[in-house]
Each structure stands twice: as C-alpha cells, then as structure tokens.
Amino acid sequence: MITYKGGRAYAHYADLEEYRAGMWKRVSDESERARYLTEAVALLANIGEFEAAMRRALAEWPISCEVAFTNPSLNRPVWLAHAGAALTRGIPEEFMRLGYWELDAGGRERADEAAIRCAKEWAPVSRQRSLF
C-alpha cells in the first residue's frame, strides 16, 4: 500500500518489489561477490540489455518506482539501474556501484546516458505530477 505526504510516496519496506528481489542483499562469500561483480559489468556494458532491464523495472515494480521517483533526494537514474539489475539478474545494488567503476570512461558515459533516458520514461502511479 502506498501513502502520500507532501507529494512524496511512502510504503512499508516489505511492500517494495526491490526488497523482495534482493536489491539490498548483503553478500560476504568471495566467490559469490566475484560472480555478481562480473555480471554487473557485463550488464552495464550491454546497453540494449541494460535498457531492457530498467524498462522492466519501470513496468513491473510500480510501488518501488513510485517511492523512489517521488523522493527528491534520490538519484533516479542510478536507482533505476540498480532496480533493473536486481529484477533481471538478481544482482544486489552494491555490485552495480562497484561494476560501474570497472568500466572505462566511455562505458560509464553510455551507461549513464541509458539510465537517464530510461528514468525519463517513468510515469507516476499517482499521476500527481511528473518529476522530469
């Protein structure tokens, strides 16, 4: 259930799709960490797959998107990149942050541009306003 206060959406963490998908999962096993990092770099480097993952998050995670995109202090494109990775590959957000810095400058720029493009496609469930 989503509630609104001051134009911002709120929900209990257990209602957030990102929580159920393991976006905030902590990983301590070194071989699992290495696997997630490799997967994150591969996803970020494949712009077509990366964009498709983010668009799936926009379509399939209405509660998490509403809460995230109405938070004025959140970096929406970065959150969406993490959401797409968690949804499509089960990659926790920590590894997307780490993987981003494994890319060269051109790869980071392409990933940033893709995330910004996809974030602009978000339409609020509340239809109260667009943030872009």
pLDDT (mean) for 123-130: 61
Write down the pLDDT at residue 78: 98
> Taking the model in full, what pTM does it have?
0.92
Question: Does position 113 have pLDDT exceeding 80, yes or no?
Answer: yes
pLDDT tens digits for 62-112?
999 999 999 999 999 999 999 999 999 999 999 999 999 999 999 999 999
- Residues 109, 38, 98, 9, CA torsion sign: positive
Q: Is the dihedral of CA 62, 131, 56, 91 positive or negative?
A: negative
pLDDT of residue 2: 93
Q: Is the pLDDT of residue 61 over 80?
A: yes
